[in-house]
Structure 1
Amino acid sequence: PLAVNASIVFEQEYTHIDGDSASCAEFYALLSSLAELPLNQSIAVTGAVNQFGDVLPIGGVNDKIEGYFKLCEKKGLTGDQGVLIPYANRQHLMLDANVVTAVENGLFTIYTMQHVMQGLELLTGMPAGIFEAGRASGYSSDTVLGCAQRMLQAFRRACHLAQHPKTEHKRMPSRLDK
């Protein structure tokens, strides 16, 4: 039998350092794996997310941006690098002059998001997907959620086959047969 277990923690500790600022990144990693779609590795992600997908502000946003910027600067700024932060944190930005100059010159980008789906589209380059009640599959197959749904349906078929081996079935897709 096939077993899949994934969880994302939404709780906030309200202490000096929380772990919830990684919940957006965890969400993207999970969907990337399910959909078998790569994420843009030149964009760092920080942000807390609630159970509705709203992106919540995080602490230490300036330090996080400047830390990633320094890493990019050492490797060489290409113009493709950047950070994805909560929209609510934009008012807290007080960045080092080097970061500001790089942003002004188009060598580094600071993206903001209010909902996790905005970041998903940025990181995958594909539409996130909108649930369509009248559609048999729920999501269009050319969306991130459509790809993830296809994989989950394949998992379901594999589990069903394990429980009912005499049932006809379609094979589980490898690398999402396109």
Structure 2
Amino acid sequence: MVFASLFGERLRAFVRDPRFGAVLDVAGPGYRIGERERDGLVINHYRHEEGSTYQRLGWHTDSLRDLFYLEKPRRYLNVGFYLDDSPLSKGGVRLIPSSHRQGLFEMMTRKAYFLDHRPDPDEYALEAAAGDLTIHDGRIWHRVAQATATGDASQRRVMYLPLMSGPLKEKHEGSPTPLYFRLKRLAGY
């Protein structure tokens, strides 16, 4: 669910909480909360069970979307808020360390975006507990592995909020649906 904070007062208050100042300090000078940028506050809900359509997510970088806006990929950070424990049995995020330092060609060609779900020998499995906060660079290669657990034991919910720097590029009700969303649908998401 994208732009979730625009649909509920509690989530809106959450992303506007002054305690985020400490997170912005970690990001560095010039960063802001992208409540209306990129996809705003995103809520992901993964379950591994029959009929579930969102059980995993193939390899990708979040910065590829910059190319769809005809921009050079820039650094931005994704802050993850874990609503459930995320042990290995629930699948979870896999990252390829240091891949955020890659060049543009490698960012575009290292993996088949969203189609490739295979484990990578260099990947790191991110485990988190409910209430944990994580930060990852949007240029890093990452995927969401499918849970080995099933049903309620597989449920994993995470909220992601972008921290942005550079030019402000807010979206509004009249903004067109980005092409990358249409391409994700072709990949079965």
* Same fold by TM-score greater than 0.5: no
Q: Which of the pair has more CA radius of gyration?
A: 1
- Normalization by structure 2: what TM-score? 0.26
Greater relative contact order (CA < 8 Å, ≥ 6 in sequence): 2
Between Structure 1 and Structure 2, which shows a larger proportion of helix residues? 1
